[in-house]
Amino acid sequence: MIIKPDAVSRNAIGAILKRVEDRGFKVRQMRMTRFTREEAIRFYAVHRGQPFFDGLIDFMSSGPVVPLALERENAVSNLREIVGATDAAKAAEVTIRKHFGTNIPRNAVHASDSPETATGEIAFFFGEQV
Ligand code: GDP
């Protein structure tokens, strides 16, 4: 998971972490960093060529982010359930994106979309140490 620049600037790190921990996740790794444009382009390489790509890169490199390595059973599906839909304005009422996000791309958090993606994304931020 990544707490995105909009949520960090809204002082929502603690509130988001509480929701995640209350859902039964263990925080295994966490740090604060800031994407360079090059790192954001590499992280979101799968979206290269999309019309929203440049805006996404601008947004993700606009301020600090908090990447986390999280652990629990069925982590990907459980996290995506409490995170909510990509467009924060349309996300379900009780979700993290509805509460802390605004729209797309300002949707408060990133959540890995499969265990394989999660492994690669965790390595991106924390190396192979997790
Ligand atoms: P996610 O898995 O719900 O985060 O969604 P995706 O992997 O499809 O997209 C990655 C991120 O790109 C999203 O979280 C948004 O921040 C952004 N994004 C996705 N689709 C759009 C779009 O249609 N327009 C814009 N502006 N941003 C988008």
pTM for the predicted model, two decimal places: 0.95
Kindly name the residue from 88, 110, 111, 122 that is annotated as catalytic. 110
Percent of the chain clearing pLDDT 70 (strictly above): 98
Q: What is the pLDDT of residue 128?
A: 74
Ligand 1 atom nearest to 110, measured from its CA: 4
- Does residue 130 surpass a pLDDT of 90? no
99 counts as catalytic: no
pLDDT tens across 29-59, in order? Answer: 999 999 999 999 999 999 999 999 999 999 9
d(CA 71, CA 66): 16
Q: What is the pLDDT of residue 129?
A: 57
- Does residue 104 surpass a pLDDT of 70? yes
What dotted CATH number matches 2-33+66-126? Answer: 3.30.70.141
Q: What is the pLDDT of residue 59?
A: 98
Hey, whose CA ends up nearest to atom 6 of ligand 1? 86
Q: How many CB atoms lie within 10 A of CB 48?
A: 10
Q: What is the mean pLDDT of the chain?
A: 97
Exposed, middle or buried by CB within 10 Å (0-12, 13-18, 19+), for 46?
A: exposed
Q: How many CB atoms lie within 10 A of CB 76?
A: 17
Ligand 1 site, CB within 6 A = 52, 55-56, 86, 104-105, 107, 110, 113
